[in-house]
Amino acid sequence: GAVVSQHPSRVICKSGTSVKIECRSLDFQATTMFWYRQFPKQSLMLMATSNEGSKATYEQGVEKDKFLINHASLTLSTLTVTSAHPEDSSFYICSATPGLAGGPLSNEQFFGPGTRLTVL
Amino acid sequence: DQQVKQNSPSLSVQEGRISILNCDYTNSMFDYFLWYKKYPAEGPTFLISISSIKDKNEDGRFTVFLNKSAKHLSLHIVPSQPGDSAVYFCAALTSGTYKYIFGTGTRLKVLA
C-alpha cells in the first residue's frame, strides 16, 4: 500500500516551453501533497505544499508563477514548470500524505519515483 | 542555514560489517526523525523513524538511535549487504507540521 506514482519519469524540453508533471496516489487518498526538487548531489528541498481543493503554499524563494501547482482531486496533483529554462533542469519528486498538513497523520509522507527534467 | 546535517558525504563498509550513518540537527523543536534510502533517479524509500520520546527504534537490520541532548541521531545497519549501497537521507520535522527538513545525504557503498 501507499504507492505514489509520477509521470513522466523523464522529460526533455526546449527552453521557453511549459512542462506538466503528474503525481498520483494510487491506493490512498492524499489530502496533502508535496513537491520537492533535488539538484545533483544535494538534498531534497521542499518547493510547495498543497491541500486538495486549496491553493498551494510555496516555500520562500520558490516562484509560484513559474511553478504552478494544482491539487484538484484527492489522488492527483500536478506541477507545471512554465517557460522552462536550463536552470530549471532538476529532479522533481512529489510525496503524498493521507493527513492534512499540520494534522496527526502528517508525519508520514510517501514519495513518488521522481521526474528528471532537462531543459535544452 | 542547514538545520539537518550529515557530515559524511560517503562511507564504504565491507559486506557483513556494521554501517553507521550519522545525522546532526540544530532545531530543538524537531521531535520526529526519519531515515530514507534513495537510489539515483528514484524517489526516497522510507526505512525507519523515531519519535523524540524514544532513544532507540529497531526494525530488522536497521536501528536508529537518538541522542536528544546532543541533537544527534544515527542509523545502524547490521549486517551490511551490497544491496544497501545507496544514498541515505535523514529527515527531521516537528510533529503537527508537514515540513520535512532533509540532510544532505550520505552515500553508502557496501563492498562485497
Mean pLDDT over A6-23 rounds to 96
Please enumerate residues of B whose Cβ is less than 8 A from a Cβ of A. 9, 32, 36, 41-46, 49, 89, 93, 95-100, 102-105
Task: With a cut of 90, say whether residue B35 has pLDDT above it.
Answer: yes
Residues from chain B that touch A110, judged by Cβ atoms under 8 A, are: 46
Task: With a cut of 80, say whether residue B23 has pLDDT above it.
Answer: yes
How close is the nearest chain A Cα to the Cα of B3, in Å? Answer: 12
Residue A4 in contact with partner chain B when CB distance is under 8 A: yes
pLDDT at A1: 61
Alpha-carbon dihedral sign for residues A53, A26, A78, B94: positive
pLDDT at B43: 86
pLDDT at A43: 86
Look-up: residue for cell 491506493? Answer: A27
* pLDDT band for position B90 (cuts 50, 70, 90): very high
Residues A99-111: tens digit of each pLDDT: 655 555 556 788 9
Task: With a cut of 90, say whether residue B20 has pLDDT above it.
Answer: yes
How close is the nearest chain B Cα to the Cα of A85, in Å? Answer: 21
Task: With a cut of 70, say whether residue B77 has pLDDT above it.
Answer: yes
Nearest 5°: the CA angle B19, B22, B26 is: 170
Residues A109-118: tens digit of each pLDDT: 889 999 999 9
Residue in A38, A43, A92, A100 to test binding to B, most B beta-carbons within 10 Å: A43
Residues A20-75: tens digit of each pLDDT: 999 999 988 888 899 999 988 788 999 999 887 788 999 999 999 999 999 888 89
Residues 53-112, chain A, touching B (beta carbon < 8 A): 91, 93, 95, 97, 101-104, 106-107, 109-112
Mean pLDDT over B65-90 rounds to 97
Write out chain A in H/E/C secondary structure. CCCEEEECCEEEECCCCCEEEEEEECCCCCCEEEEEEECCCCCEEEEEEEECCCCCEECCCCCCCCEEEEEEECCEEEEEECCCCHHHCEEEEEEEECCCCCCCCCCCCEECCCEEEEEC
Task: With a cut of 70, say whether residue B82 has pLDDT above it.
Answer: yes
- C-beta of residue B19 within 8 angstroms of C-beta of residue B78: yes
Other Cβ atoms within 10 Å of B10 Cβ, number: 10
- The span from the CA of A83 to the CA of B109, in Å, is 39
| Three-state DSSP state, B52 | coil
Burial annotation A78-98 (CB, 10 A radius, 16+ → b, else e): bbebeebeeebbbbbbbbbbb
CB-facing half-sphere around the CA of A28: CA atoms within 13 A: 17
* Nearest C-alpha in A relative to B32: A107
Locate A117 and state its grid cell: 527534467
